[in-house]
Amino acid sequence: MKNKKTCMLLILAFSTLLFSQEVGEKTYSVGETRLTVLKSIVLPGWGEHSLGHHKRGYFFNSTELTGWLAYAAFTVYGKQTRNDMRTFAADHAGVSVAGKGNQYWTDIGNYMNIHEYNDQKARYRQMDLIYTQGDQFWAWDLKKNQKKFDDMRLNSRIAKRNASMVVSALVLNRLLSVIDIATLTKNKVENPYTDDLETYIFPEGDRLTLSLNYRF
């Protein structure tokens, strides 16, 4: 849901920009059009700057910079929190950290010790899910420490999810910049066949779908 809202806000901001176009009479060659589209794919806003539309370029530049800063922040925080939770589990639950998957960390956040976990799985005849002793052992010293660990685990997962949402926004920023370039050069290209842009933004289930067809 947050991912959808982020995309909708970015599209709304882009729409506002689109309807405030800077007027110009310059025409563009096929080569210029292709190059500016490629520039916008590499760095949103670069194509706009090359056409002299600097306000529009700064809009996409700032969105890109904000996105990368957010991605770096979420990624670093997520990794640091994951490392901290593992160290915390080793100190307060006797966990052997090496070689553990996501399901193991989820399980130790939900059960006080390996015996409590195994007893429940045995009652439900889920024998294939039972952990063995040894390096799979854990036993929390205090309930509050188990709760603190689980909060750290959830925060790490949320940070990872947010980072993936930012990646989606960065991709969308490129698509919108390409559409903007195509709109700015529409009816101003020396070779008419390059003026072939079709864009569709429509809801599909619980998300928005963007379709872009642009002929070089």
Is residue 37 one of the residues assigned to a domain? Answer: yes
Q: Which of 172, 179, 162 is nearest to 69 (CA)?
A: 162
Is residue 14 one of the residues assigned to a domain? Answer: yes
Helix (H, G, I), strand (E, B) or coil at 100: coil
* Assigned token pair, 152: 């750290």
Tens-binned pLDDT, residue by residue, of the chain (216 aa) = 555 566 566 665 655 555 455 545 577 677 778 899 999 999 999 999 999 999 999 999 999 999 999 999 999 999 999 999 999 999 999 999 999 999 999 999 999 999 999 999 999 999 999 999 899 999 999 999 999 999 999 999 999 999 999 999 999 999 999 999 988 888 666 654 444 555 555 455 555 555 556 555
**Residue 45 backbone dihedrals phi, psi, to 5 degrees:** 105, -25
The C-alpha angle with vertex 42 and arms to 20 and 179, in degrees rounded to 5, equals 35
Is residue 180 one of the residues assigned to a domain? Answer: yes
Is residue 15 one of the residues assigned to a domain? Answer: yes
* Residue 25, CA distances (Å) to 21, 28, 52, 130 in order: 12, 10, 12, 72
* Enclosing H/E stretch for 73: helix 54-93
pLDDT of res. 212: 55
Give CA 36 to chain center in angstroms.
Answer: 25
Is residue 122 one of the residues assigned to a domain? Answer: no
State the total domains in the chain.
Answer: 1
Q: What global pTM score does this model have?
A: 0.74
pLDDT of res. 8: 60
Q: What one-character DSSP code corresponds to residue 46? A: H
CB under 8 A, 24+ apart: contacts of 9-16: 10/63, 10/169, 10/172, 10/173, 10/176, 11/172, 11/176, 11/201, 11/208, 13/59, 13/63, 14/176, 14/179, 14/180
What domain range includes position 66? 2-72+167-214
Is residue 206 one of the residues assigned to a domain? Answer: yes
pLDDT of res. 19: 46
Convert 133-198 into a string of H (helix), E (strand) and C (coil): CCCCCCECCCHHHHHHHHHHHHHHHHHHHHHHHHHHHHHHHHHHHHHHHHHHHCCCECCHHHCCEE
Is residue 88 one of the residues assigned to a domain? Answer: no
Q: Which of 88, 76, 75 is nearest to 153 (CA)?
A: 88
pLDDT of res. 121: 97
* Assigned token pair, 180: 């903007």
